[in-house]
Structure 1
Amino acid sequence: MRWYSRLAAVLCGVWLGILPAEAQAPVNNGANNGKLAIVGGYLIDGNEGTPIQNSVVLVEGDRVVHVGTVADTPIPGDTKVISAEGYTIMPGLHDAHVHLMIVGHGVYSEWFVKYDSRMREIMPISARHLLMAGVTSARDLGAPLEDIMWLKKEIESGRLVGPRLFVSGPFLQKTSSDDQKFFRWLIDGPADARAKTRRLIDAGVDLIKVTQSDRLSREELRAIREEAGRAGLHIAAHGYTHEELRAAIEDLGARTIEHVNARPHPFYPEESVRLMGDHGVYAVPTSIVSLAYDATEAFPERLDDQRLKRDLPPEVYQ
């Protein structure tokens, strides 16, 4: 997958989130030439290699060009050096399914009524939290188009802090409650499906997100598929039931199926599993839907996180 191969080049997300300000300060200031050395940390390479103590990671632009130790790696004089002593360095994580507009809230009918006008206040906070957790790349699979494109550009320009975003913009689907139509675009016929997919593409999205594939007609699904294919974009789709999954794979041509094994539909028939395998479709389990919700219901005090209290507006935190 073309979009994923670019993600693999990104390294060192976790240290960015955990290093205090004084540890992030350059030891020596080279020219602003994209050369960086991360020195002295405990390196876990993510490929089952032996961890390296007193490591050196040399970066040029967006590529890691050398990994070694302090003892065997000379650092060019025009390189900025960051001390990672006492910290762990590891590859940046990729989250394949996020919604930066939600901040973990589980009751959509309450959340969007209160905060639909505050997306540009809330979404940057979510993006920063992701990066501070070591996530350096993420797919945002459902958000208001103008707001998510704004955030993506702000992060890419360096004006805001966050992971590299691959965004779909609004869902394409058949029905929605009124309070969520600002990020769920309803499809009414093949021509409308084609036009709305084209509008997303023209806005600069990285992929297309579809839900309710079992409610959309075959002609509507194929119109979305054709437009996305012309633009070279892959499609992500929900697959809560076998019929929704079948329509998403066979008619829509979805490349990833979202919420696999997430509650309230944790199990699939063997036919569903075989269908995904036969078509080479990737499963995105979004395990957090099952794990975090259940854990929070059992132990709500886990929400009493002082970092959340510090970063979120008081009424949002409450």
Structure 2
Amino acid sequence: MKDHYLGYYPTKYIEETYAEALSTRDEVLTLWFEYINDDELNCSVDIGKIYKGIGDCYPEELNDHTMAIKHYDLAIDYFQLANQKATTDYEKIDIFDLLRDVYTSKMEISIDESEQIQNCLMAITHIELSVQNLLKYRSSDYYGIATRIEEIANLYQSIFKYDDALINYEKALEVYMQQFKPVLYRIKVTFEKIFKICYDHKHDYSSALKYQLMEHEYVLKHNARKPTDNMTEMCAKREEIVKSHIKLANVYITLHQYSLAEEHLMIIKKLYQESELPSQGKVEFIEEKLGNLYTRLHKHDLADKHLAMEKNLYQKTKNPLAELHIRHPIGYLAQKQKCAFFRFK
């Protein structure tokens, strides 16, 4: 019954589940209120979780933000009461994490901008309190601390406090990279968040380049080909590497470092040309970027060459039988007859 009110609903229709949860809430809460004065049990935590779970029912399916806020506020009251009764730091850490969740939920459904910011800052405050308590027992390079710091950064970014977000992303990234077995995916995602702030929001292209180069190293390492890779895995890894090269090329173009941009575009072209699968449309895209790049450099002969190649590839993409006609005339005729047959059908 307790799990039912914590959001772990049984497999039923959502409407029925919510109706059942809401209709029996008073009965369940009454059971817990019988033990409200039992400080050792400290059931205020459980009551707070129930109110949080009920609050979660309202915003999406029941479309009642007022009732959601009411129950979130009740959850906050009982979590704060539970914190006063907590006897260990680990209990407090759990409660601070629960308070973070409630304030984040309030932030997500707030319509008023000032309320959003206020709830966001309260969520951040409780994450910081959680970190302070964790640091009593864990070193600063503890993975769980890094994930909380990244949460702080995410929240700052959500209210457009990019400088504060960057500071915390950098702290989290440093810890992720210090791990005995670094989680490469987590490092890559954090790099991407930092890059986005530097490039899109702060227009600090030098910093964006710095972090993209660091990310690129991890992308190459994470996507190194293995003998056991199948075709799907190889293609997925190639695409990740290509994306990183494209980001680097774009930053170099923005910084007017065109020779370095050209270098990365040529690497991408080679990757596609060596691919086991057809990638004509993607090579076409790279030829276009190279053509535009050479136009900027006033290398018009090279620009014309690559734009002509791009146009040629485009025509082949429009008419896939054209290349077959050049390379395999008999196969071309057979394929053409097959297409005509299906058109007739």
Tell me if both proteins adopt one fold, taking TM over 0.5 as the criterion: no
> Which has the larger Rg?
2
Instruction: Decide which structure has greater helix share.
Output: 2
TM-score where L is the length of structure 2: 0.23
TM-score where L is the length of structure 1: 0.24
Instruction: Decide which structure has greater strand share.
Output: 1
Higher relative contact order (CA 8 A, sep 6+): 1
